[in-house]
Chains A and B, each alone.
Chain A
Amino acid sequence: MKYGSFIAISAALAMGGCGSTTTIDDYRPTTEPIEIQSHEKVAVLGRRDAGHYETDTSFIQCLGNQLNGLHFQVVSEHEFIDALYPWFEPRTAPKGIKRLTQLMGDEAVKAKVRAEGIRYLVWLDGEVESAGHAGTMSCGIGPTGGGCFGYASWDKNVFFEAVVWDLDDLTEEARIRVDSEGTSYVIGIVAPIPLISPVKSQACEGMGSKLRSYFSKEVG
């Protein structure tokens, strides 16, 4: 009984320690919902031009999944950059509305965007950083068996920014920034027991929920 209580208290403490804090800041020039018709599409893309990191592919997919199921279609990053090749490669992708306007001035690019039915671009930029590693764990294996003993923890910080561009009006429709941080643990009691803080999924859900609320109005 005492042993069971010890395990339960340890687990509760550890799980409590896995909690994360997520902050979402957003900016929109208006409070009106973003207008999109059912035949129009939204593409979710990640920035690839920074030298030391690339926007996490799994986060881009996660955000795309968050937008799936609304009244419009979501285009994957791969599909979009292939359809518009070579204008959204790291070397050529527009970084601001000025360059986007210039790009959409090209008749071939404009016609392709229209043909694909893409109305909005969601640009994602950010990364996941791990820091504050603490504790030690040693694992061993031998002819009679193996196991891990010890304890390790680390902090995870997630920062992502999403910028929504309207490809019709060539304007910036919204900007959302999400910061999430939490601590993960691995406890080794023969088998390693990971207690991972869900910072990335929480950041994705937070950003997805915000974006869904913007696109909630169907027109036409």
Chain B
Amino acid sequence: MREMTDWIRKAGLLLLAGAVLGGCATSASVAVEGTFPTVVSKPRDIHAVIVMDEAFRNYQALPLKNVDIRFGSAQVDLWGKAFRGLFEQVEVVFSRSEAPSGADLVITPSVQEVQLSTPNQSYLNVYEVWIKYRLDVETPDGVPIDSWFLPAYGKTPDSALMSRSRAIEDATVVALRDAGAKLILDFFRIPAIHVWMEQRLASTES
């Protein structure tokens, strides 16, 4: 009977040690599935085509060894809503060849880089995510207007008592929201877009 009790106690300790070590695992596979709120903004009278290809829709970032973040569907939702806050008419297509000729602008967003900072690296109790986007803006005829780099940043308020995956997901969602905010705030301030808007206005007046 005593042997049996000892065995149960040892098994319990092994299980506890396993659980603790499991909690310290450094690999994470994170899928960001969230949807984003509708943008509060008065869209301008522009017909824009947004090209979101397969690579963009299924985007998977590998910011660290043993960490992957899949946020393709989340960024499709975010960019769709953000562009609808900028332009009155928005069409989302899968490839550049599907863009109709009657549109005013064709925009192709792409992810250039994703970086992740964890408490192990920064000695701060937060997870941080940086996403660098590039937006290629051109006319329907293929004349480039600008390639705009859009950096976005997100962090968790405090990662205490959060799982690693949950913290990375939360920081990514904040970074995506930041990307939407920057787009709404700055898109029409891009000098090349400003010039294009003025030329468009002049051509419609004449």
16 contacts between A and B (CB under 8 A): A52-B124, A54-B155, A54-B158, A57-B157, A82-B37, A84-B40, A85-B38, A86-B82, A86-B177, A86-B180, A86-B184, A89-B178, A89-B181, A91-B182, A143-B6, A143-B13
Task: Report which A residues bind B (CB closer than 8 A).
Answer: 48, 52, 54, 56-57, 82-87, 89-92, 106-109, 112, 141, 143
Task: Report which B residues bind A (CB closer than 8 A).
Answer: 6, 9-10, 13, 36-42, 82, 124, 155, 157-158, 177-178, 180-182, 184-185
Are A83 and B37 touching (Cβ within 8 A)?
yes
Are A109 and B13 touching (Cβ within 8 A)?
no
Query: Which B residues are in CB contact (< 8 Å) with A85?
Result: 36-40, 177, 180-181
Query: Which A residues are in CB contact (< 8 Å) with B40?
Result: 83-87, 108-109, 112
Complex Cα gap A83–B42 (Å): 15
Query: Which B residues are in CB contact (< 8 Å) with A86?
Result: 39-40, 82, 177, 180-181, 184-185
Q: Which single residue of chain B is at the shortest CB-CB distance from A52? A: B124
Q: Which single residue of chain A is at the shortest CB-CB distance from B124? A: A52
Complex Cα gap A199–B6 (Å): 44
- Asked, given contacts A54-B157, A85-B38, A92-B185, whether A143 binds B177 with beta carbons under 8 Å apart, the answer is no
Complex Cα gap A141–B20 (Å): 14
- A82 → B minimal CB distance (Å): 4
- Asked, given contacts A143-B10, A143-B13, whether A106 binds B177 with beta carbons under 8 Å apart, the answer is no
Q: Which single residue of chain B is at the shortest CB-CB distance from A82? A: B37
- Asked, given contacts A83-B37, A143-B9, whether A92 binds B158 with beta carbons under 8 Å apart, the answer is no
Query: Which B residues are in CB contact (< 8 Å) with A52?
Result: 124
